Amino acid sequence: MQWVFLVLALWAALVELHSGTFYLAAVAGAALLTTVIGYWIRGDLLILVFLILCGMLLAAVMLYRRRRAPGTTLADLDVGQSVTISGVSQHGNQLTVSYRGTTWEAVMDDGAAVAPGDTAVISRRTDKLLHLTVPRAVAQT
């Protein structure tokens, strides 16, 4: 019966490497631990041990991934990049900018007055809206 769990552990580990989820890693770990525990426990009780270990390790993986998910964000590579202002609305609060070969909507975070053709720097991005500031070299003059 131990060989079955050893084969299951190897199979789950290989499928885990292919899929990239951590849930199959928990199943592989439970099967491997069941293989080791099989030296002391025999028979159908070993299946119950495997199910309990699967439940415990799957819950641990779920809690780990849930706790870790909000803190891991990728860096926004758009921040600090220059954009060219292609249009300003009549009220001056909505801008149209050209960036990465397409047109984006933007606003000036620092409230500076800009005209079409000026350049600005992306300070942050929310959804599809770019927040801009005046470049430092221009702001100092």
Place of tokens 């439940």: 55
Report the C-alpha gap between 123 and 117 in whole angstroms: 19
For residue 63, pLDDT over 70 is answered with: yes
Mind listing the pLDDT tens digit for each residue in 1-48?
A: 788 888 989 999 899 888 877 788 899 999 999 999 999 988 889 999
Mind listing the pLDDT tens digit for each residue in 97-139?
A: 888 888 888 888 877 778 888 888 888 888 788 888 888 765 4
Sketch out the chain's domains with CATH numbers.
2-71 (no CATH), 82-136 (2.40.50.140)
Report the C-alpha gap between 77 and 67 in whole angstroms: 25
CA angle, residues 68, 71, 72, in degrees to nearest 5? 85
For residue 76, pLDDT over 80 is answered with: no
For residue 64, pLDDT over 90 is answered with: no
Half-sphere exposure of 18 (CA within 13 A, CB side): 6
